[in-house]
Structure 1
Amino acid sequence: MITLDELRAGLAARSGLLVARSGGRELPPLRGWETGAVLAVTTSGSTGEPKTVLLGADALTTSAELTHARLGGPGTWLLALPTTHIAGIQVLVRSVVAGTEPGVMDLAPGFRATDFATAARPVLAEPGRHYTALVPTQLARLVATEGPGLAAVRQFDAVLIGGAATPPALLERSRRLGVRVVTTYGMSETSGGCVYDGLPLDGVHVRLVDGRVEVGGPVLALGYLGGEPFGEWFRTGDLGRIRDDGTLQVLGRADDVIISGGENIAPAGVERVLTSQRGVREACVVGLADPEWGQVVAAAVVPEDPGDPPDVDELCAAVGDAVGRFAMPKRVVFVPELPLRGPGKVDRRAVAGSFE
């Protein structure tokens, strides 16, 4: 875990590599262009071999400055994410840039709404603006009941939500309850979130090449350890589209596309339909091998009320109406919660394994 003092010193010196996450392996000495890095974050390797992302001080601090500019100015942050991942580290970077002392939530016992409220109290007592960053699962727990967690999160000037796709129903409910939610898109390779509510931060550029999202600008990492430095553009593993209003809509990872009977099905599109249905809290859609269709669509659904789950036929019909019959789930299971990895992303491999 990286501390605020370590990060402050590293950013000031612009040297001395801090390792946020090594994937359990010892990193070799830096050489050549790699020596400009102050932070190393190793990816989970969930979609391939783990890669160690090397980030420079300029990219990290620029990301923080652009975030404050978008949100309305520097403020005091509450750290409610682990600093083994870029989202948590950026809360510390923003605090260094703002010259403020962040509040820190103890995550050892897990994330509880009452603990969030306790950790938020001294942060909200500070003058000026107040911010925090969460993953969708944390937000869902805060808005589940009219308790102290909801009362606290409503007082923040902005609540950044990232790390995983946020169900539209959760966003709608949160905003209706007065939570100032800002959705973010980004990754370690872009110093964290670089697209807020669909719009790139100032100076950040987004384009689509063959349907794949590419990002350019001053927030890009230097490159991967042992590889070549990044150029002007970083090609992500995500599919996207540009809406009529110019905002970016991320459609999910290209690796997750399900090919069933010759049809390409984006799980994120099916998930959006499922989570918009009454009685559905969360959903994860995966492809299962099938001798006839190649793959079939399967959905793990977390119901709002485990004792009264929604009707499976109605869920499938909703998908058929919105996406097409080819995208209708062939298998649906109700689960109490979805397995997570990293800072809050759904573990799709574990979900697929639950159907075996």
Structure 2
Amino acid sequence: MTIEPLLKALSEALHGEGPAVQIAPDGTFTLIPQTGLGLPTDSDTDIAAVVLTSGSTGTPKRTMLSVEALAASSVGTAMALRGEGQWLLALPMNYVAGLQVLVRSLFAGTRPWTMDLSGGFTPEAFTEAAQELTDNTRFTSLVPTQLTRLLTNPTAETLTVLRRFNAILLGGGPINPVLLEAARGAGLNIVTTYGMSETCGGAVYDGVPLDGVQLAIRDGRVLLGGDVVAAGYLENAELTAASFFTEEHDGELVRWYETGDLGELDSDGRLRVLGRVDDVIITGGLKVSAGAVTDGLHRVQGVREAFVVPVPSQEWGQQVAAMVVGSCSLAELLAGAGAVMEPQLVPKTVVFVSELPLLGNGKPDRTAILATLTEAAHAL
């Protein structure tokens, strides 16, 4: 499928000369007139794109991204990556990370190369697409599962194309530190990103906010502010009011988005995301962070990926459960987890799989994982 009509529509929207663009999962798109977006009649905000949130933690929402927000994000990214170049699109276009590859390309005046995802993401298809890039400066965005697949018994051709990228943005979920170390050890320039649809995608790179992005921690919760923040949710004024607000910061009015994540700043002032606010597991009266358990499991030898959720328990109220992709046995996993975590953090239910079930954007399918682990816990 050619993306030229989509690029033309996006270009017109980004120049404030056309309706907003909403991309469907199959790559087709619809145009939404500015008058149909529910903005105040006196608003001078031009919406360029409407994107679905991933839905990984609930019902997907349609997020309205303005021309100003996308431009600010694109400029911030170019500054962080020290230049503009050609992008390889390896993620679905209907989610913000995929959309941003197209938007950054349009702002840079370069033509993106789109990977064929009709057969799913495979190292072979990625390698073939990456070999078609012609610009000397090259970028791509991946989620951890994709990078894991690329670095599991990689061919020389795959490593060669990966090393030719000036930067590989990696985000969309918890990143196994072993994976990150292996990637950088193989000569890949990995830049970790944190953000969401409501912030035009990644707004914090390697723990540092992009230029123009404000970062705050309040009551343990991460807040992001600045020009990259979305205009709100289409046809959901109540949720918009609950998630976005404007207040003075350093003498200026700043638009903020209150994320659903817990975080802290390390000794260098870099953001460390601790997990979702709603991922706290209360087991036997103790509060356990699913993010802390995931971090611990990632340190166990042989674990490539892990996803942790609470499942109901008659004895404990909730219990810690994990779906794991790895080469270790259950006994090795539990022994390794016990060596790096406190006893209450060690999962009581573990299901090994060859691959985590994924949503269309490459993120783990929390609903499917929860159903599998709940069934496994009840069978014990």
TM-score of the superposed pair, with normalisation by structure 1: 0.91
Structural mapping, 1:103-142, within 5 Å: 103-123=113-133, 125-127=134-136, 129-142=137-150
Structure 2 residue 334 is the aligned partner of structure 1 residue 292: no
1-side partners of 2:291 and 2:116: how far apart? 32
1-side partners of 2:208 and 2:54: how far apart? 27
2-side partners of 1:167 and 1:134: how far apart? 14
Structure 2 residue 342 is the aligned partner of structure 1 residue 327: no
Q: How far did 1:241 drift?
A: 1.2
Pick from 185, 190, 201: which aligns with 2:199? 190
Structure 2 residue 40 is the aligned partner of structure 1 residue 17: no
Pick from 265, 282, 297: which aligns with 1:274? 297
Kept in 2: contact 1:183–1:197 (CA 8 A): yes
1:250 corresponds in structure 2 to 273
1-side partners of 2:333 and 2:153: how far apart? 25
1:8 corresponds in structure 2 to 11
Q: Secondary structure at the match of 2:15?
A: helix
1-side partners of 2:277 and 2:24: how far apart? 25
What fraction of aligned residue pairs are identical, expressed as a percent? 46
2-side partners of 1:92 and 1:26: how far apart? 16
Pick from 141, 155, 158: which aligns with 2:164? 155
Kept in 2: contact 1:14–1:36 (CA 8 A): no
Q: Secondary structure at the match of 2:295?
A: helix
Between 1:12-21 and 1:29-38, the stretch displaced more is 29-38
Q: How far did 1:107 drift?
A: 0.8
Between 1:234-243 and 1:340-349, the stretch displaced more is 340-349
2-side partners of 1:51 and 1:348: how far apart? 16
2-side partners of 1:45 and 1:104: how far apart? 24
1:307 corresponds in structure 2 to none
Aligned amino acid, residue 344 of structure 1:
G
1:144 corresponds in structure 2 to 152
Q: How far did 1:46 drift?
A: 4.2
Pick from 324, 334, 355: which aligns with 1:337? 355
Deviations 1:107-162 (A, max 9, x none): 11111212212211231x323x1111111111112111241222211110000011
Kept in 2: contact 1:238–1:254 (CA 8 A): yes
Deviations 1:174-217 (A, max 9, x none): 11111111110111100010000111101111111111110001
The 4+ residue runs of structure 1 with deviation greater than 6 A are: 25-28
> Aligned pair count?
349
Q: How far did 1:245 drift?
A: 1.2
Structure 2 residue 47 is the aligned partner of structure 1 residue 29: no
Between 1:146-155 and 1:96-105, the stretch displaced more is 146-155
Kept in 1: contact 2:73–2:203 (CA 8 A): yes
Structure 2 residue 174 is the aligned partner of structure 1 residue 165: yes
2-side partners of 1:197 and 1:26: how far apart? 35
Deviations 1:261-284 (A, max 9, x none): 122211122112212221111111
Pick from 77, 82, 92: which aligns with 2:87? 77
Kept in 2: contact 1:47–1:255 (CA 8 A): no
Please, what is the CA RMSD of the aligned residues? 2.3
Structure 2 residue 70 is the aligned partner of structure 1 residue 60: yes
Aligned amino acid, residue 198 of structure 1:
G
Structure 2 residue 245 is the aligned partner of structure 1 residue 222: no
2:249 corresponds in structure 1 to none
Aligned amino acid, residue 349 of structure 1:
T
Q: How far did 1:14 drift?
A: 4.9
Between 1:85-94 and 1:326-335, the stretch displaced more is 326-335
Q: Secondary structure at the match of 2:132?
A: helix
Q: How far did 1:314 drift?
A: 3.8
Q: How far did 1:85 drift?
A: 0.3
2-side partners of 1:205 and 1:323: how far apart? 33
Question: Which segments of 5 or more consecutive residues in structure 2 lack a partner in the other structure?
Answer: 247-254, 376-380
Q: How far did 1:168 drift?
A: 0.9
Q: How far did 1:349 drift?
A: 2.0
Aligned amino acid, residue 312 of structure 1:
L
Q: How far did 1:26 drift?
A: 11
Kept in 1: contact 2:57–2:366 (CA 8 A): no
Q: How far did 1:244 drift?
A: 1.1
1-side partners of 2:17 and 2:212: how far apart? 22
Aligned amino acid, residue 356 of structure 2:
L
Kept in 2: contact 1:154–1:178 (CA 8 A): yes
Between 1:107-116 and 1:96-105, the stretch displaced more is 107-116
Kept in 1: contact 2:194–2:205 (CA 8 A): yes
Between 1:80-89 and 1:50-59, the stretch displaced more is 50-59
Aligned amino acid, residue 130 of structure 1:
R
1-side partners of 2:89 and 2:315: how far apart? 49
Q: Secondary structure at the match of 1:341?
A: coil
Kept in 1: contact 2:308–2:323 (CA 8 A): yes
Kept in 1: contact 2:89–2:114 (CA 8 A): yes
1:261 corresponds in structure 2 to 284
2:185 corresponds in structure 1 to 176
TM-score of the superposed pair, with normalisation by structure 2: 0.86
